[in-house]
Copies of this chain bind each other. A is one copy, B any other.
Amino acid sequence: MNVSRDNRSISHFVIKRLPRYYRYLGNLLDKEQRRVSSQELSELMNVTASQIRQDFNQFGSFGQQGYGYNIPFLYNEIKNLLGLSQSYHMILIGGGNLGQALAKHEHFVKRGFVVDAVFDSDESKTGMFTGNAPILHSLSLPEYLSGNKTDIAVLTLPESEAQAVTDVLCANGINAIWNFTNCEITVPPGVYVENVHLMDSLMTLAFNLAEINKNVCKK
């Protein structure tokens, strides 16, 4: 399946690699580097140089022999493709430890993801602040959404409440959910869910550690 933007068609496999390219090119720009060869980027990113050339060709950025790629141009192209030339209004549902950590995460604001409010069902937190975001009571969520443009809702609440809150969000026009709960949520068509299942990630790590230890014992 291909995605087209500005009349260009880019494969989903390339799309999946874009955030990583964007991150590395951003780091080079921070160091005031203006050009990079596919070979140099290949060594930094641990991707083959020919893969990089193929990917970049897809969105019309052709490196020049002996010069390499123009970093500011590439960076802006990827920024546009990722939809990062605008800023995003986010809300967090669940003001526990993880919610607070995400609300204060400095990288998000830098890239245009602004946390406008945090919702929590604990009344004693209402009126307090997490970073720059006020903590509002969960019951006020529908009212808030009817009056405030919101692009992304982040779920950092207990699993048991995840689906009910998701239903409220979707009924009130949210179509992008970043889900940190340990469960899958069901959404209507046209709503995108990006899952961060920390427990799955940790179990994958444990599995691979067990494999490593097994190999060490064999030696």
- Which residues of chain A have a CB within 8 Å of any CB of chain B? 3, 5, 15-16, 18-20, 22-23, 27, 45-46, 81-84, 88, 96-98, 100-102, 104-105, 107-108, 111, 113, 151-152, 175-176, 178, 182-184, 190-192, 194, 196-212, 214-216
A184 contact set on B, CB distance < 8 A:
45-46
How distant is A202 from chain B, measured CB to nearest CB, in Å?
Answer: 6
- Counting from the closest, the 8 A-B pairs by CB-CB distance are A83-B210, A97-B101, A19-B200, A19-B203, A101-B101, A194-B205, A176-B209, A192-B208
- By a CB distance below 8 angstroms, the chain B residues around A5 are 210, 214
The oligomer's copy count stands at: 2
Q: A151-B209, A214-B5 are in contact. Are A200 and B20 (CB under 8 A)?
A: yes
Among A46, A201, A216, max chain B CB count under 10 A is at A201
| Interchain CB contact under 8 A, A83 and B204 | no
Cβ-defined partner of A152 (8 Å) among B23, B113, B196, B205: B205
Contacts of A3 in B (CB 8 A): 211
Query: Chain B contacts of A192 at CB under 8 A?
Result: 205, 208-209, 211-212
When chains A and B are docked, how far (Å) is the Cα of A204 from the Cα of B192? 10
Q: Chain B residues near A96 (CB, 8 Å)?
A: 101
Q: In whole angstroms, what is the CA distance A113 to B208 when docked?
A: 15
A88 touching B206, Cβ below 8 Å: yes
Complex alpha-carbon distance, A15 and B151, angstroms:
35
Assembled-state Cα–Cα distance A215/B111 (Å)? 24
Q: Least Cβ distance of A101 to chain B in Å?
A: 4
A52 to chain B, nearest CB (A): 15
Q: Is the CB of B83 within 8 A of A27?
A: no
Min CB distance, A150 to chain B, in Å?
11
On whether the beta carbons of A204 and B45 are closer than 8 Å, the reply is: no
**Min distance, Cβ A216 to any Cβ of chain B, angstroms:** 8
Question: Which residues in B have their C-beta under 8 angstroms from that of A16?
Answer: 204
Chain B residues in 8 Å Cβ range of A210: 5, 82-83
CA distance A27 to B182 in the complex (A): 10
